């Protein structure tokens, strides 16, 4: 059962990663057009800074879960190699539970912030792009992170039980 959950998390994270890749391509495209336009034609792309700023946020948010799945995040294990497997599993379980709790709060707060932006009509200064779709996107991008933390937490608990 846990293997199916892990495979689902990996597939969802890879799909979200492609959203991040698309964001990187948008950033590249907009930046190239803006730089070439400014240097060659003395013309700036209206709203380029706003689009790049918001797309960077989306790109980073949608890459978080695959980074966690692949283990590309920062992990400090100075003393962990010297501990027993059971104690290592207990400490890992606590850390993963804290990570899960943190990201659940982050996702919840981004939904709250998105609603606040939506009701107040908050938008970017130059191009007047509404902030709420991006804020909701970040919240949605955090859901697979929570699922990966949950899957890793359950795996660590199994490690503790098996000793």
How confident is the model at residue 163, as a pLDDT?
Answer: 67
Look up the pTM and report it.
Answer: 0.88
Q: Hey, where are the domains in the chain?
A: 2-162
- In the predicted model, what is the mean pLDDT of residues 131-143? 97
How confident is the model at residue 74, as a pLDDT?
Answer: 73
Whole-number average pLDDT of the chain: 93
Rounded CA-CA distance 25/17 in Å is 12
Q: What percent of the chain has pLDDT over 70?
A: 96
């Amino acid at each position: 059962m846990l293997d199916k959950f892990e495979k689902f998390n990996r597939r969802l994270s890879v799909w979200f990663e492609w959203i991040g890749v698309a964001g990187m391509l948008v950033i590249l495209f907009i930046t190239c057009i803006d730089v070439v336009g400014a240097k060659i034609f003395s013309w700036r792309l209206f709203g380029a800074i706003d689009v790049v700023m918001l797309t960077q946020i989306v790109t980073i948010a949608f890459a978080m879960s695959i980074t966690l799945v692949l283990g590309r995040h920062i992990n400090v294990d100075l003393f962990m190699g010297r501990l027993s497997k059971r104690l290592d599993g207990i400490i890992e379980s606590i850390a993963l539970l804290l990570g899960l709790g943190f990201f659940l709060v982050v996702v919840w707060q981004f939904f709250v912030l998105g609603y606040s932006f939506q009701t107040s009509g908050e938008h970017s200064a130059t191009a007047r792009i509404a902030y709420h779709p991006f804020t909701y996107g970040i919240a949605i991008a955090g859901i697979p992170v929570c699922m990966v933390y949950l899957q890793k937490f359950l795996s660590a608990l199994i490690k503790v039980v098996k000793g």
